[in-house]
Chains A and B, each alone.
Chain A
Amino acid sequence: MSPRRVVIRNQSAEANLFARRTFIAFAIVLLVLLILFGNVFNLQVESFEKYQTRSNSNRIKLLPVAPNRGLIYDRNGVLLADNKPVYSLEVIAENVNDIKASVEHVSQLLNISPERQAKFFKSMKSKRRFKPVELHSRLSDQQVALFSVNKHKFPGIFVNARLKRYYPFSDLTTHNLGYVARINRKDAKKLEQEGKSDNYAATYGIGRLGIERYYEDMLHGTIGHQEVEINNQGRVIRTLNYTPPVPGKDLTLTLDIELQMIAKRALSGKRGAVVAMDPRTGGILAMYSNPSFDGNLFVHGISSKNYNKLLNSKDLPLINRSLQGYPPASTVKPFLALTGLEEKIITPETKIHDPGWYQLEGLPNKYRDWKPWGHGMVNLTKAIEQSCNIYFYDLAFKLGITKISNMMEKFGFGDYTGIDIHEESKAIMPSVAWKRERYNKPWYTGETLSVGIGQSYWTVTPLQLTQALTTLVNHGERKVPHLLKANSELIIESSGNAYHQITPTIYEPRAPLKLKDDKNWNVVLEAMHSTVQKFGATAYKPFKGSTYDASGKTGSAQVARIKQDEKYDAKATSENQRDNAMFIAFAPFDKPEIVVAVAIENVAKGGGATNAAPVARQVMDQYFGDRVITSQTHNVKANKNAVTVTTHHEAD
């Protein structure tokens, strides 16, 4: 710097200059303040609503609350599908100091497998902040207790309780109830399309198969919401508002679980199905398909090992046999007889001669009766009692396929019964049109003869059989087969009173099946009655000693094609080519309360009477208990002269 100079200063000029400059600076200060204020004014007044909205959407979150799924009961109030708390071990990584060490430590304590730990660390990678990640999905009570005692050692790790579906009767009810399984991508897409995604935001599982699937909407309920204030890390600070979820409706089924148990026991060791229905309502009392599987396995996500075991089992446990088609064999003879009466092809008195075989004019094929030397002179009643094939070959030939299939369709064969389960097969009621469409081939008369004994292309489901039998015993009044009896909804009044409002399900009756002559119903029904009640008739033995005045019809279906003049020998036939045993029954004769259909696959020995009828008997014994019912209108005396069944090949 320069050496100190003597400066002559003009003090007042300097002061003026400084004051001017200060004033300018002050003016700029004012201007800047105005700009700052204007900007804040713009934010707080002009754009207030925009920023208020953004501020609220920052802090307010709607947390969905899953509704409790409706419970399912049997007709007597026995719980079939429950919601049980399941304990899972979850980790919020942000609250754990050393995640790896903590997880290892807790895994050691609770004996959690390295696989689960690996899975946990894998899902950790894609998790959101402050979202818990599952380390174990199903803790045992012991593990829960052990963890609770040591909880203080594991900040950020906690036990979460969730309600999950539980089926106390496991495989006994699976085919009817279906099960609830975790919502998968396909389900999610479907829910999205149906506009139900919002309602399922907090829901773990969705009904798969059976009642759970069919009544999903009723069982699910309505989602609730918790409006919470959260901080910047998504942690819930407090609840602002709570809309409770509306639980799903409880369902009461027509099913009787005790009857179901008997059905299962009766079928044990066999492949087959039993359906028992109340003909007065169409309500299904028991429906069991053996073998079955445990639906609980699917609730928690079945392991691929277990799933493959089910999928690859040659017993096909995943299939609901009650709703699958079987050749009906002789069980449809009463319906065919009724068709003959209706079409006036036969009268109750019409007789034909059965030499043991039937042959169409001009054709070499001989159609054989199950009894090699034939039944001699046969009328309608005897034809049903003895299950005479020749009578029905002749009847079928005279009726022709079209009249048969038209009438059988009226009984519901070849179409959905409309039961409240989606996994139903229509089975097949063959007709000329059907064959043309299916095989693009003409119908052959020989096939009509086979249809006459419930073979050929004809298949029926055990449920269809009960439906048709219901129509028969009701003299043409048709019922809708169903499982749902009533639903119950929890109503909470504004006063705080809560009660269950029970709504019985009403099934619109279907148009009745009218016959030209109403007497014909009884002709056929009485023939079924004597089939069971008359000594020597095909179903006499299996129901011997029963006290509830049962009626029925046996059936034995060929699975393998038997060549001309060849004899069937079960022992020489591979297991899955053996005959199926069929049986239908109802009781009591006067005012039927129960109809039963049984189908058993590939029996080793005998047919419907020895294999299927005893199953129906056990179910009916259970149903009637100690009740003794005798026929009021009608007395069947055992015909001592009746031909006894002694052949190697039992009545079919």
Chain B
Amino acid sequence: MRSSGQDQQKVHTLWQRLHIDIPLLLGLFTLLALGLFLVYSAGGQDIAVVYRKARSIGVALLGMFIVAQIPPLVYRKWAVPVFVLGLLMLVSVLLFGHVGKGAQRWLDLGFIKFQPSEIMKLIVPIMIAWFVSQDSLPVKISTVVQAFALVLLPTLLIAKQPDLGTSLLIASSGIFVIFLAGASWKLISACVGLASAFVPILWMFLMKPYQKQRVMTFLNPEQDPLGSGYHIIQSKIAIGSGGIEGKGWLQGTQSQLEFLPERHTDFIFSVFSEEFGLIGVAALLAVYLFVVMRGLWIAVNAQHAFTKLLAGSLTLTFFVYVFVNIGMVSGLLPVVGVPLPLVSYGGTSMVTLMLGFGILMAISTHRRFHV
């Protein structure tokens, strides 16, 4: 950068005026482009699937660009009413929601069907960041407890739908804010202890049979290789058989011959690993690492506690997607419905993620705003 001189500086300022963070955008473009190629391969080489994904990308980029124009201050102002509205929507989903794939996630407003839980992925970190940044940092214990309560409310409502993946992501986004706000280590260890104690309660009272089955399958997939263990076994075969160099794009037999389930959505990482091998995996993880680093860099350089916390939380939550998705398809974690961020086919989660990156770009480019 330094050697490029003045021109670079001008360009930089131009992009800054457009509120676009170039390194972050490059990282995102890499992932989105990869997603297009993979969706073509995983979707039975159907170009229509690629077009649909491209359209979602267009919508998502537009959304990101619009969000990036909004000064972060605005989010802080609207945090509470939007949060309350979000909770109301979650409640109404449970009461009148549309059932799809065995879970109540969709709210039909007549002209549009959408998942309130998706919006909550943004609202919760905004809300918690606003809440803990009212006082000076590090956060006090009483604030932490109240913040926890605020996180738990939407988390449980979503878990009830049931949507374990989203509730996990939402809980993480709130917890990350609390962690970054400097919650004391004693408190953190206490919480970890409490969470462990919570597991049996979760197992016995809150988890639905199909969720328990997933956990059982995760512990021993070979127990039922043609039934519940089928997904994870086929996924591991896909990844393992890719080897170091991979079978080549469009050459993955596990995916092309449809042995792999949910190929273009949750299990797209398996398609990628099969076709591009360990080398491809290393490169993909590097891109994700780059995006995370850039996000954390933006967070560290943000000028206010609220924006720091929000940026940090959004970035780390993005990483949780990566971790949970790759972890589950490679047999490290039980299968919960979390897509590979920006790469998997599926418009809703991508749009939400890109809106989050829009907020990151806003934080990165709106440097001066009233404290």
Contact = CB atoms under 8 A, between A and B. Distances in A.
B37 interface: no
Interface string A231-260: 111000100000000000000000000000
Interface in B202-248: 234, 236-244
B278 A9 contact: no
Contacts of A45: 243-244, 278
A17 B244 contact: no
Contacts of B137: 13-14, 17-18
Contact of A29 (B237, B239, B289): B289
Interface stretch (B4-12, B89-97, B324-332): B324-332
A52 B243 contact: yes
Interface in B272-296: 273, 277-278, 281-282, 285, 288-289, 292-293, 296
B344 to A, nearest CB: 16
A13 to B, nearest CB: 8
A44 B244 contact: yes
A392 to B, nearest CB: 79
B169 to A, nearest CB: 15
Contact of B258 (A5, A52, A232): A232
Nearest to B137: A14
B241 A22 contact: no
A18 B300 CA distance: 7
A130 B242 CA distance: 29
Interface residues of B, number: 52
A40 B281 contact: yes
Given A7-B135, A22-B300, A45-B278, A40 B239 contact: yes
Contacts of B349: none
Contacts of A40: 239, 273, 278, 281, 326, 330
A18 B253 contact: no
B75 interface: no
B278 A36 contact: no
Interface in B157-183: 176, 179-182
A45 B245 CA distance: 10
A436 interface: no
Contacts of B339: none
B48 interface: no
Interface string A472-516: 000000000000000000000000000000000000000000000
B134 interface: yes
A487 to B, nearest CB: 44
Interface string A254-277: 000000000000000000000000
A39 B330 contact: yes
B249 interface: no
A15 B301 CA distance: 9
Nearest to A21: B180
Given A18-B182, A37-B285, A52-B240, A10 B253 contact: no
B114 interface: no
A640 interface: no
B299 interface: yes
A417 to B, nearest CB: 57
A637 interface: no
Contact of B330 (A26, A30, A43, A56): A43
A15 B304 CA distance: 9
Contacts of A36: 285, 322-323, 326-327, 330, 332
Contacts of B199: none
A26 B242 contact: no
Nearest to B274: A55
Contacts of B240: 43-44, 47-48, 50-52, 54-55
Label chain A's interface by main secondary structure.
helix
A17 B182 contact: yes
Contacts of B273: 40, 43-44
B308 interface: yes
Nearest to A7: B136
Given A19-B300, A43-B240, A55-B254, A25 B182 contact: no
Nearest to A17: B182
A58 interface: yes
B257 interface: yes
A9 B137 CA distance: 8
Contacts of A14: 136-137, 305
A21 B136 contact: no
A50 B222 CA distance: 14
A335 B4 CA distance: 122
Given A14-B305, A32-B323, A231 B258 contact: yes
Interface of A: 1, 5, 7-10, 13-15, 17-19, 21-22, 25-26, 29-30, 32-33, 35-37, 39-41, 43-45, 47-48, 50-52, 54-56, 58-59, 229-233, 237
Of all A-B residue pairs in the complex, the 8 with the closest CB atoms, nearest first, are A51-B240, A55-B241, A43-B240, A231-B257, A232-B258, A51-B241, A44-B278, A14-B137
Interface of B: 80, 134-138, 176, 179-182, 234, 236-244, 253-254, 257-259, 273, 277-278, 281-282, 285, 288-289, 292-293, 296, 299-300, 305, 308-309, 312, 316, 319, 322-323, 326-327, 330-332
Given A15-B300, A33-B285, A44-B281, 16 more contacts: A5-B134, A8-B136, A22-B299, A22-B312, A36-B326, A36-B327, A36-B332, A37-B285, A44-B243, A48-B240, A51-B237, A51-B241, A54-B240, A56-B253, A58-B237, A230-B257
30 contacts: A1-B134, A9-B305, A14-B305, A22-B300, A25-B179, A25-B312, A26-B296, A29-B292, A33-B288, A33-B289, A36-B285, A36-B322, A36-B323, A39-B330, A39-B331, A40-B239, A40-B273, A40-B326, A45-B244, A48-B240, A51-B240, A51-B241, A52-B240, A52-B243, A54-B241, A56-B253, A58-B253, A58-B257, A229-B257, A232-B257
